[in-house]
């Protein structure tokens, strides 16, 4: 007989450590400075601290197996034995990190964004020959660890359908093979896992199936039915919670409802409880506390939702909308924030307290006193008086007109060589920035360091012979945070780190009020750089969608209104750069794809306003000013029409991992295009022959008059030594091809 589900829970918790302890432990282990034991003891302490803290906050349902040395999808691949042979090593941890980070001769597995978040997972590789085998060591060890503290936990594992939908076909798989073809085999391994966990005395297991909130084909829904039918009918198993998040289950809800699983988690922040009737007889884990934002939960509304769900489904537990992985640990540490703002904020700790409080209120509310059958949706967000509608861009002159004006104004050679913006961020720069923040050096001294770096970057580019130069972005800690620090309406945190991938974290700014640009932001640096050279220096801005995508955003205005406010600020900056004599301006939009809604029905509307906001930000520029944009992800080809719609004069796109597809898809692309020819994610330095080969290939898809020559992305993470050698090869390759045209 199954035990009832705890009254309060979270679907997952941050794991990098309140002071990024895991990041430091991982990086020193990778560098060989510390031992495996050191790493393991840090990890154990982080897990134990988390469970103790959650229990102390009064949370009843504690998750386990939410810790990871790198990524939970990678953990699941290891759990299922899906380890490609080329990564196997004697030491299990070495094998694990080889998949994540690459090893001698084997580049790492691909990494991509986790749904519409800024978290990246490792893409498993599954082929027809993959031999699955259970390796339950990690979840079992975590259950035992918590138990040693006197705490029972619910292991969390990525579910079989989502795991296979996120996987890619192993190289050399026959055409038509899809990882989901292996469902039956994989489900058998899950069955064995459940048996082992049952034998360990585990009462509940959580299987995460966020893939079910996107559009799914009948065959995929049949896979859900098959998987959970099979697992549900097992005799010897813990009770099952299937967790959905990031949206509504839609067609998958009745399918799951018909399986014997005992509980389903619903995201009631992004989705609604409209189908909850179908779950009568099961427990609904009602995700009313958002795991995706940093705002306090509206208590009355959340309680009303909980009561309505209880009315419909019967058994309800209070939970978070998704794992708290996507928010920082504790807002109480942000003593530098305006107290009025801090009052409005909740990070992971505060969200746990909210879940506990709501569970108490729900328990105290008499059954049958729901506020009617209507389940409240999200608050109607009111647009402001001046909605985005009145910022319709008149549009710039047609491209041929602009191209002619720019050719006249810029006098660039064929196949112009440029970079994406940043140059290596040296230790000296980082130290100077830290010293400035700590008040150890004066503003003027810091600016001297920045100016010296700009001089170095300009001199280097002139010496190497690039055609459109950049100032190198030495003044920026980060391409979003830098702008947030200079715009009204944003706050930045001190400790608000969120895992992005592996040991990498970002500190998203908090966009909490109306965005305004009090004064020009980048102009003086661009002007200084331009004063050092007669070649055009490219002004460098982050686009409105990316600034918003990589921030925590207010929820009292529609997202598009917020994006248009930021677009206003970017538009003003573009105007000021032009006035300062900057002839080329790049507005990066690497996050354009990230905000694409998971449901197809919503995608066109998003792309339409996102593109309109970009055009609003850039279309004030005169026709002779050349607007560049840059995007970096390996599947840019999937939104190429929208990228084309940005109407930038030149678009640079990362292409190291998707050259073939990208070049195959650019046929309709009508303006300047720079498919990256130097993979900046790798310390490898390509030589001129290699770059020449890539350019020759690109010339088959893009006419020479429109082809640009540039690296894949910014050079900030590389060393000057690598950058200098690589760019020398790039310039030489462009020169050879020019001579032939
Ligand atoms: N201009 C930025 C840079 O070069 C672009 C970074 C990005 O695309 N992620 O660093
Ligand atoms: Zn990039």
For the chain, report the end-to-end CA distance as a whole number of angstroms.
78
Strands 672-675 and 552-553: unpaired
Alpha-carbon distance of 24 to 359, in angstroms, equals 36
Ligand nearest to the CA of 457: 1
Q: Rounded mean pLDDT of 73-83?
A: 98
Q: How far, in Å, is the centroid of ligand 1 from the Cα of 153?
A: 42
- Which ligand has the minimum distance to the alpha carbon of residue 632? 2
pLDDT tens for each residue of 594-636: 999 999 999 999 999 999 999 999 999 999 999 999 998 767 7
Ligand 1 atom, smallest distance to 420 CA? 4
Rounded to 10 degrees, the C-alpha dihedral 93/94/100/104 comes to 180
For the stretch 627-655, pLDDT in tens is 999 998 767 777 888 999 999 999 999 98
Residue 642 buriedness (CB in 10 A; 0-12 / 13-18 / 19+): buried
Q: How far is CA 234 from CA 157, 184, 628, 704, in A?
A: 18, 14, 57, 63
736 among annotated binding-site residues: no
Answer with the residue of higher pLDDT: 373 or 741.
741
713 marked ligand binding residue:
yes
Residue 380's pLDDT band (boundaries 50, 70, 90)?
Answer: very low
* The pLDDT of residue 283 is above 70: yes
Q: Whose CA is nearest to atom 9 of ligand 1?
A: 590
Average pLDDT of the residues in 402-414: 97
Q: What share of the chain is helix, strand, coil (3-state, %, to 5)?
A: 45, 15, 40
Comparing 77 with 638, the larger pLDDT belongs to: 77
Tell me, in angstroms, the distance from the centre of ligand 1 to residue 480's CA. Answer: 10
Nearest CA to ligand 1 atom 4: 714
Cα-to-centroid distance, 685 and ligand 1 (Å): 19
Q: Which pLDDT score, from 0 to 100, does residue 552 have? A: 98
Q: What's the 415 CA to ligand 2 centre distance in angstroms? A: 20
Most ligand 1 atoms within 8 A of CB, residue of 418, 421, 504 to mutate: 421
| Least confident span in 267-281, 290-304, 382-396 | 382-396
Per-residue pLDDT band for 687 (boundaries 50, 70, 90) equals very high
Q: What is the residue-averaged pLDDT of the chain?
A: 94
Instruction: Please state the atom number of ligand 1 nearest to the C-alpha of residue 419.
Output: 4
Angle at 345 between CA 343 and CA 351, to 5 degrees: 120
ipTM over 0.85: yes
Output the CA torsion sign for 175, 176, 178, 180. negative
Contact yes or no for 276/375 (Cβ under 8 A): yes
Residues 52-61, mean pLDDT to the nearest whole number: 98
pLDDT over 60 (residue 370): no
* Pairing mode, strands 584-588 and 153-158: unpaired
Asked whether residue 653 is marked as a ligand-binding residue, the answer is: no
374 is in an annotated binding site: no
Say if residue 113 carries a ligand binding annotation: yes
Ligand 1 binding site (Cβ under 6 Å of any ligand atom): 420-422, 473, 479, 540, 588, 590, 630, 632, 713-714, 716
* Residues 6 or more apart in contact with residue 578 via CB below 8 angstroms: 585, 621, 622, 625
Q: Specify the residue with its C-alpha closest to ligand 1, atom 6.
A: 714
579: annotated binding-site residue? no
- Neighbouring CB atoms inside 10 A of 201's CB total 10
Q: Name 672's Cβ contacts closer than 8 Å, sequence gap at least 6.
A: 628, 648, 649, 650, 651, 706, 707, 708
- Residue identifier of the C-alpha nearest atom 10 of ligand 1: 714
Measured CA to CA in angstroms, residue 175 lies from 171, 501, 637 at distances of 10, 31, 21
Separation of alpha carbons 647 and 586, rounded Å: 12
Q: Which whole number is the average pLDDT over 148-153?
A: 98
540-576 per-position pLDDT tens digit:
999 999 999 999 999 999 999 999 999 999 999 999 9
Q: How far is the CA of 714 from the centre of ligand 2 (A)?
A: 6
Cα of 292 to ligand 2 centre, how many Å? 24
**Residue listed under structure tokens 């959340």:** 302
- The ligand with the least distance to the CA atom of 479 is 1
10 Å CB burial of residue 290 (0-12, 13-18, 19+) is: buried
What pLDDT was estimated at residue 634? Answer: 64
Atom 1, ligand 1: residue with shortest CA distance: 421
pLDDT of residue 678: 95
Q: Determine the residue of 113, 120, 422 to mutate for testing ligand 1's pocket, defined as the one with the most ligand atoms within 8 A of the Cβ atom.
A: 422
Dist CA 367 CA 66 (whole Å): 34
Q: Which two tokens stand for residue 274?
A: 């409209």
Mutating to test ligand 1, I would choose from 118, 419, 420 the residue with most ligand atoms within 8 A of its C-beta, which is 420
Q: Which atom of ligand 1 is nearest to the CA of 421?
A: 4
Ligand lying closest to the C-alpha of residue 539: 1
Q: What is the pLDDT of residue 201?
A: 98
- How far does the centroid of ligand 1 lie from the alpha carbon of residue 19, in Å? 26
9/195 Cα distance (integer angstroms): 24
551 marked as part of a ligand binding site: no
pLDDT number for residue 670 = 87
The yes-or-no verdict on residue 217 having pLDDT over 50 is yes
Quick check: 11 and 325 in contact, CB under 8 A?
Answer: no
SS3 243: strand
Ligand 1, from 714, 716, 718, 723: best to mutate by most atoms within 8 Å of Cβ? 714
User: What percentage of residues in the chain have a pLDDT greater than 70?
Assistant: 96
Predicted confidence (pLDDT) per residue in 112-123, tens digit: 899 999 999 999
Name the phi and psi angles at 86, rounded to 5: -65, -15
CA of 656 to the centre of ligand 2 (A): 12
Residue 322 is assigned to a ligand binding site: no
Query: Annotated binding residue at 654?
Result: yes
Q: Which residues contact 262 (CB under 8 A, 6 or more apart)?
A: 2, 5, 204, 239, 240, 241, 282, 283
Q: What pLDDT, on a 0 to 100 scale, did the predictor assign at position 393?
A: 59
When pLDDT is cut at 50, 70 and 90, the band that residue 381 belongs to is: very low
Give, using CA atoms, the residue closest to atom 3 of ligand 1.
714
What is the residue with the minimal CA distance to atom 5 of ligand 1? 714
Whole-number Å distance, alpha carbon 310 to ligand 1 midpoint, is: 48
Burial of 234 (0-12, 13-18, 19+ CB in 10 A): middle
- Separation CA 431–CA 145 (nearest Å): 40
Residues classed as catalytic: 681
Q: Do 322 and 291 contact (CB within 8 A), yes or no? A: yes
Taking a C-beta distance cutoff of 8 angstroms, is the pair 661, 638 a contact? Answer: no
Residue 342 has pLDDT above 90, yes or no: yes
Confidence band for 77, pLDDT divided at 50, 70 and 90: very high
Instruction: Give 1's pLDDT tier (boundaries 50, 70, 90).
Output: very low
In degrees rounded to 5, what are phi and psi of residue 291?
-95, 5
């Amino acid at each position: 007989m199954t035990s009832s589900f705890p009254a309060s829970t979270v679907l997952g918790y941050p794991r990098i450590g309140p002071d990024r302890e895991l990041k430091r432990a991982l990086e020193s282990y990778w560098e060989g400075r510390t031992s495996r034991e050191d790493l393991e003891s840090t990890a154990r302490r982080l897990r134990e601290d988390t469970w103790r803290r959650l229990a102390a906050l009064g949370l009843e349902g504690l998750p386990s197996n939410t810790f990871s040395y790198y990524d939970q999808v990678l953990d699941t691949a290891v759990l299922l034995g899906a380890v490609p042979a080329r990564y196997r090593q004697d030491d299990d941890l070495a094998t694990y990190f080889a998949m994540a980070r690459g090893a001698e001769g084997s580049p790492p597995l691909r990494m991509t964004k986790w749904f519409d978040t800024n978290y990246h997972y490792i893409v498993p590789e599954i082929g027809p020959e993959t031999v699955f085998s259970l390796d339950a060591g990690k979840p079992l060890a975590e259950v035992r660890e918590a138990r040693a503290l006197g705490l029972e936990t619910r292991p969390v594992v990525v579910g079989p359908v989502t795991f296979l939908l996120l996987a890619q076909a192993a190289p050399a798989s026959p055409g038509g093979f899809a990882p989901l073809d292996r469902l039956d085999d994989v489900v058998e391994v899950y069955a064995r896992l459940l048996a082992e966990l049952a034998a360990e005395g585990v009462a509940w297991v959580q299987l995460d199936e966020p893939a079910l909130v996107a559009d799914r084909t009948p065959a995929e829904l049949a896979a859900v039915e098959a998987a959970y039918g099979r697992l549900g009918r097992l005799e010897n198993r813990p009770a099952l919670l299937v967790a959905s998040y990031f949206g509504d289950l839609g067609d998958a809800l009745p399918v799951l409802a018909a399986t014997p699983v005992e509980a389903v988690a619903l995201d009631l922040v992004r989705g609604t409880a409209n189908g909850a009737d179908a779950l009568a007889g099961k427990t609904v884990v009602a995700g009313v506390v958002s795991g995706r934002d940093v705002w306090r939960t509206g208590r009355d509304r959340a309680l009303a939702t909980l009561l309505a769900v209880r009315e419909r489904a019967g058994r309800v537990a209070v939970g978070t909308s998704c794992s708290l992985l996507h928010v920082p640990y504790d807002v109480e540490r942000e003593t530098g924030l305006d107290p009025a703002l801090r009052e409005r904020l909740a990070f992971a700790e505060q969200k746990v307290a909210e879940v506990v409080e709501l569970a108490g209120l729900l328990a105290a509310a008499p059954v049958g006193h729901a506020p009617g059958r209507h389940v409240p949706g999200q608050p109607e967000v009111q647009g402001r008086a001046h909605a985005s509608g009145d910022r319709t861009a008149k549009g710039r002159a047609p491209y041929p007109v602009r191209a002619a004006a720019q050719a006249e104004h810029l006098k660039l050679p064929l196949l112009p060589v440029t970079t994406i913006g940043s140059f290596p961020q040296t230790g000296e720069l980082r130290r100077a920035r830290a010293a400035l923040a700590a008040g150890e050096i004066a503003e003027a001294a810091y600016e001297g360091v920045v100016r010296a770096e700009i001089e170095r970057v300009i001199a280097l580019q002139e010496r190497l012979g690039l055609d459109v130069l950049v100032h190198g972005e030495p003044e920026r800690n980060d391409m979003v945070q830098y702008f947030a620090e200079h715009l009204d309406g944003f706050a930045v945190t001190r400790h608000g780190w969120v895992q992005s991938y592996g040991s990498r974290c970002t500190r998203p700014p908090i966009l909490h009020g109306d965005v305004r640009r009090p004064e020009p932001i980048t102009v003086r640096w661009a002007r200084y750089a331009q004063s050092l050279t007669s070649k055009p220096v490219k002004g460098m801005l982050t686009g409105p969608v990316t600034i918003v995508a990589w921030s925590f955003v207010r929820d009292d205005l529609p997202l598009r209104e917020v994006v248009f406010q930021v677009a206003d600020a970017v538009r003003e900056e573009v105007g000021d750069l032009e006035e300062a004599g900057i002839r080329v301006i790049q507005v990066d939009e690497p996050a354009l794809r990230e905000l694409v809604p998971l449901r197809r029905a919503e995608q066109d509307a998003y792309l339409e306003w996102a593109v309109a906001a970009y055009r609003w930000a850039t279309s004030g520029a005169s026709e002779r000013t050349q607007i560049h944009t840059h995007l970096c992800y390996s599947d840019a080809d999937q939104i190429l029409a929208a990228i084309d719609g940005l109407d930038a004069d030149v678009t640079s796109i990362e292409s190291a991992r998707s050259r073939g597809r990208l070049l195959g898809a650019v046929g309709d692309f009508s303006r300047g295009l720079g498919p990256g020819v130097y993979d900046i994610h790798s310390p490898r330095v390509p030589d001129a022959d290699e770059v020449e080969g890539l350019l020759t290939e690109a010339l088959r898809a893009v006419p020479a008059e429109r082809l640009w020559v540039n690296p894949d992305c910014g050079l900030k993470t590389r060393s000057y030594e690598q950058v200098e050698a690589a760019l020398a090869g790039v310039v030489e390759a462009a020169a050879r091809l020019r001579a032939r045209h």
